[in-house]
């Protein structure tokens, strides 16, 4: 066998085996990517659901002012008596409770405790927060975003003296959400994307990339708001999906915080590597297969010389 035929034989043999191998390898690589996406989404769902449960417990434990505001001792107390009770709550947990106010039936402050002058009384009568609490005779809350302070939960609670009795006064509580930021900081370190909290209006309360700190009140990513809106429309407590936004694929998982309209979310850019070790393993398998085919092509040539050429010449 001359030199040219030798290389043609090895090249043809390699091509015959490489073609189906490359086709199968392509399916293998794409299948592995789909498995990575599925496993990543499952892990993201577990993380967001866990964080949502932690946040719900934290809100119930430290941010539920109805536990003392609905007590007979507070409802029937005088203005000074209420003020002492509220000041005691602030002193008990100053990292959360920053300000309490008593509003009259028209939504104007008549008593205030916490930072600021007690003479600086505000009028909340035209705010959506007060109007919602007064109309429904039930608590109404919203997140307040400050430029140099952590987000705060502002809650208006009707002080109802008895069943069927319309509230004549309301308790306004302003509570720091710095604890939620701590949860994001600790758990978000292990996220390959962005993990955070989003309020009912789609604004970031906290997130692991720090966007909420640099731009208070900034909207959550559009892909996150889209998935959360879908979950809310379907009445689902949590939801995970792959979505496309501006031509890029994203993996998104959201979970509702029980008792609120807030969402915990995690979003990951699916165009990036989702599993480095898995990707390296797949590449190693494919490259090893290609190398073995090249080696066997050379071995096939040597065997052809050994078994076929003598028979043809003879």
In percent, the amount of the chain with pLDDT more than 90 equals 36
Q: How far apart are CA 39 and CA 226, in angstroms?
A: 22
**pLDDT at residue 312 tops 50:** no
Rg over CA atoms, the chain: 32
**At how many degrees (to 10) do helices 3-62 and 178-187 cross?**
150
Domain with CATH 3.30.450.20 in the chain: 33-59+180-269, 65-176
Contacts of 138 (CB under 8 A, 6+ apart): 158
**pLDDT at residue 3 tops 70:** no
CATH 3.30.1490.20 applies to domain 65-176:
no
pLDDT in tens, 18-64: 888 888 888 777 777 878 888 889 999 999 999 999 999 988 888 88
Average pLDDT, the chain: 86
Q: How far apart are CA 37 and CA 26, in angstroms?
A: 17
Alpha-carbon distances of 132 from 2, 108, 129, 160, rounded to whole Å: 92, 15, 5, 15
pLDDT, residue 47, reads 92
pLDDT in tens, 137-179: 888 889 999 887 889 999 999 998 877 778 889 999 999 998 8
Higher local confidence (pLDDT), 37 or 253: 253
pLDDT, residue 283, reads 81
Which pTM was predicted?
Answer: 0.77
C-beta atoms surrounding 47 within 10 Å: 19
Name the CATH topology of 33-59+180-269.
Answer: Beta-Lactamase (3.30.450)
pLDDT in tens, 168-224: 899 999 999 988 888 888 888 888 889 999 998 899 999 998 888 888 889 999 999
**pLDDT at residue 114 tops 90:** no
For the CA atoms of 40, 41, 42, 43, the dihedral, rounded to the nearest 10 degrees, stands at: 50
- Nearest alpha-carbon partner for 90 in 70, 106, 118, 113: 113
For the chain, give the number of residues. Answer: 314
**pLDDT at residue 311 tops 60:** no
DSSP E strand stretches across 185-312: 194-198, 204-207, 238-245, 248-256, 263-269
In percent, the amount of the chain with pLDDT more than 70 equals 93
């Amino acid at each position: 066998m001359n030199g040219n035929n030798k290389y043609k034989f090895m090249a043809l043999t390699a091509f015959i085996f490489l073609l189906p191998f490359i086709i199968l390898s392509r399916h293998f690589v794409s299948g592995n990517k789909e498995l990575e996406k599925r496993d990543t989404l499952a892990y993201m769902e577990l993380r967001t659901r866990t964080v949502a449960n932690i946040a719900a417990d934290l809100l119930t434990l430290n941010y539920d002012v109805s536990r003392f505001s609905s007590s007979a001792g507070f409802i029937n107390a005088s203005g000074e008596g209420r003020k002492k009770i509220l000041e005691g709550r602030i002193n008990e947990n100053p990292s959360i409770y920053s300000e309490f106010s008593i509003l009259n039936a028209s939504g104007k402050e008549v008593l205030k405790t916490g930072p600021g002058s007690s003479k600086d009384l505000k009028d909340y009568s035209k705010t959506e927060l007060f109007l919602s609490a007064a109309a429904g005779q039930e608590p109404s809350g919203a997140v307040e975003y400050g430029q140099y302070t952590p987000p705060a939960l502002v809650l208006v609670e009707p002080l109802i003296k008895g069943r069927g009795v319309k509230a004549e006064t309301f308790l306004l509580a302003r509570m720091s959400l710095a604890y939620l930021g701590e949860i994001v900081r600790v758990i978000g370190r292990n996220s390959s994307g962005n993990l955070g909290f989003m309020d009912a209006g789609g604004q970031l309360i906290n997130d692991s990339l720090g966007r909420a700190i640099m731009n208070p009140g900034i909207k959550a990513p559009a892909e996150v708001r889209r998935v959360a809106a879908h979950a809310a429309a379907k009445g689902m407590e949590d939801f995970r999906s792959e979505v496309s936004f501006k031509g890029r694929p994203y993996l998104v998982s959201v979970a509702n915080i029980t008792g609120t309209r807030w969402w915990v979310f995690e979003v990951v850019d699916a165009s990036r590597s989702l599993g480095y070790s898995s990707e390296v393993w797949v590449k190693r398998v494919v490259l090893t297969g290609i190398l073995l085919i090249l080696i066997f092509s050379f071995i096939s040539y040597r065997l052809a010389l050994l078994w076929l050429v003598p028979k043809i010449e003879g």
